[in-house]
């Protein structure tokens, strides 16, 4: 069997790596790198027989990424079209052989300061699927590698972005006082644009129910205003919608902060009216990952004929 080009390069790197064989630990790490290449060869030989698998549910996928980021803080997002997704995912496995290795092998590679890439195929959309690549050191320049926990440009997927407990506390402007352990936690929160849209919606709904003495020249402006009861119902429906998001720590904090903003603004604008009830977001426990063949997870295309 001829060894693929990527594996030949990794084997050359292994042969040149200075290992001290008197150290049992370095022996194990040296063998782990060889095992990593062997695993990748077996994967590529069986690529035509094994289907490409992806996460079937959102919450376990997000939890898995948050755990991996602790040891693999660099990330790259590859968005693939539906027509070529499986073939290009196999190309990524060929490009980064350590992605096909087991957890112990990747841990050994990290101890050697060598690239240990994790490849996560997220639940697909209708026409595209996102592949998240996480690594401890930059393996090459063929992908755009960025810090996954950069406060300004964090790792994003759909309506979510990664954040630390310290970032969440800073964004709350003193509303949160987390412990030292929570400051180091890694979680997912709602994306900045999504949070801003919800905040603006809450503000608009409350202001639309505020009594006004202004005389409107256009009658349509008068009919656009809401009664306090109508605004209360709309805000309660918004709260019911928000608790449908995964109950991860950062998302639950975002929902709580939106409720905090709603209560504060309501008491300022409508102090004599009963405030809406804001639901409590349930906590999501650690869920087992559910994988399925990628071809079975695609959303069926509508028949336009």
pTM: 0.79
Same domain, 126 and 209: no
**304 occurs within a structural domain:** no
Instruction: Give whole-number Cα distances, 192 to 112, 168, 262, in Å.
Output: 37, 12, 18
- Does residue 147 share a domain with residue 194? no
Q: Are residues 136 and 208 located together in one domain of the fold?
A: no
- Over residues 18-27, the mean pLDDT reads 36
114 and 10 fall within a common domain: yes
Residues in the chain: 305
Phi-psi region of 107 (alpha: psi -120 to 50; beta: other; left: phi over 0): alpha
What angle, 0 to 180 degrees and rounded to 10, lies between the N-to-C axes of helices 103-111 and 24-45? 130
Residues 205 and 262 in one domain: yes
Which H or E run includes 76? strand 74-81
Please list, in sequence order, all residues whose beta carbon lies within 8 angstroms of the beta carbon of residue 298, skipping any fewer than 6 positions away: 82, 124, 126
Q: How confident is the model at residue 182 (pLDDT cuts 50, 70, 90)?
A: confident
Query: Distances from the Cα of 225 to the Cαs of 39, 128, 138, in angstroms?
Result: 65, 41, 55
Are 220 and 86 members of one domain?
no
pLDDT per residue as tens digits for the range 186-245 = 999 999 999 999 999 999 999 988 765 555 555 555 445 778 999 999 999 999 999 999
Identify the helix (H) or strand (E) that includes residue 163. Answer: strand 160-164
Closest alpha carbon to 158 in 245, 243, 69: 245
Residue 290 resides in a domain = no
Q: Are residues 136 and 249 in the same domain?
A: no
Q: Do 132 and 200 fall into the same domain?
A: no
Q: Which of 153, 178, 200 is the last residue of a domain?
A: 153
Residue in the structure block whose two tokens are 């590859």:
78
181 located within any domain:
no
The predicted pLDDT at position 132 comes to 98
H/E run at residue 40:
helix 24-45
Euclidean distance between CA atoms 252 and 206, whole angstroms: 22
Do 138 and 215 lie in one domain? The reply is: no
For residue 239, give its domain range: 188-269
CA angle 219–222–228, rounded 5-degree value: 165
Give the pLDDT confidence of 248-283 residue by residue, as tens digits. Answer: 999 999 999 999 999 999 999 999 999 999 999 999
Please indicate, yes or no, if residue 106 is contained in any of the structural domains: yes
Report, as an integer, the average pLDDT of 118-145.
96
- Supply the pLDDT for residue 91: 95
Residue 126 lies in a domain: yes
pLDDT in tens, 287-298: 999 999 999 999
Give the largest Cα separation in the chain, rounded.
Answer: 89
Quote the number of domains for the chain: 2
Residue 207: the pLDDT is 92
Residues 14 and 144 in one domain: yes
Q: Is residue 14 predicted with pLDDT exceeding 70?
A: no
- Higher-scoring residue by pLDDT: 211, 121: 121
> Tokens 């790490």 belong to which residue?
29
Given a cut of 50, is residue 126 above it in pLDDT? yes
Query: Are 137 and 67 found together in one domain?
Result: yes
The answer to whether position 284 is within a domain reads no
User: Is residue 226 left, alpha or beta, with left meaning phi > 0 and alpha meaning psi from -120 to 50?
Assistant: beta
């Amino acid at each position: 069997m001829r060894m693929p080009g990527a594996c030949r390069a990794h084997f050359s790197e292994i042969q040149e790596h200075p290992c001290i064989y008197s150290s049992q630990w370095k022996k194990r790490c040296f063998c782990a790198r060889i095992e990593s290449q062997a695993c990748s060869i077996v994967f590529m030989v069986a690529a035509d027989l094994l289907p490409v698998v992806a996460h079937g549910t959102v919450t376990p996928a997000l939890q898995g990424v948050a755990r991996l980021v602790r040891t693999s803080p660099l990330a790259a997002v590859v968005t693939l079209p539906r027509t070529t997704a499986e073939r290009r995912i196999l190309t990524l496995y060929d490009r980064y052989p350590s992605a096909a290795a087991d957890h112990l092998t990747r841990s050994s590679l990290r101890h050697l300061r060598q690239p240990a890439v994790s490849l996560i195929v997220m639940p697909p959309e209708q026409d595209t699927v996102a592949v998240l690549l996480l690594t401890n050191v930059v393996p090459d320049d063929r992908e755009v590698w960025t810090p996954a926990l950069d406060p300004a440009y964090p790792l994003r997927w759909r309506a979510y972005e990664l954040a630390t407990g310290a970032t969440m506390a800073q964004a709350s402007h003193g509303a949160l006082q987390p412990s030292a352990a929570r400051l180091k936690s890694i979680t997912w929160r709602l994306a900045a644009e999504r949070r801003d849209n919800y905040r603006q919606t809450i503000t608009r709904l409350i202001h639309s129910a505020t009594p006004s003495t202004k005389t409107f020249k256009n009658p349509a402006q008068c009919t656009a205003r809401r009664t306090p009861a109508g605004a209360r119902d709309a805000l309660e429906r918004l709260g019911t919608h928000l608790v449908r998001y995964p109950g991860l720590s950062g998302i639950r904090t975002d929902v709580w902060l939106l409720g905090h903003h709603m209560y504060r603004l309501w008491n300022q604008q409508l102090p004599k009216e009963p405030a809406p009830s804001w639901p409590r977001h349930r906590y999501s426990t650690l869920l087992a990952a559910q994988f399925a063949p990628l071809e079975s997870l695609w959303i069926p295309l509508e028949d336009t004929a």
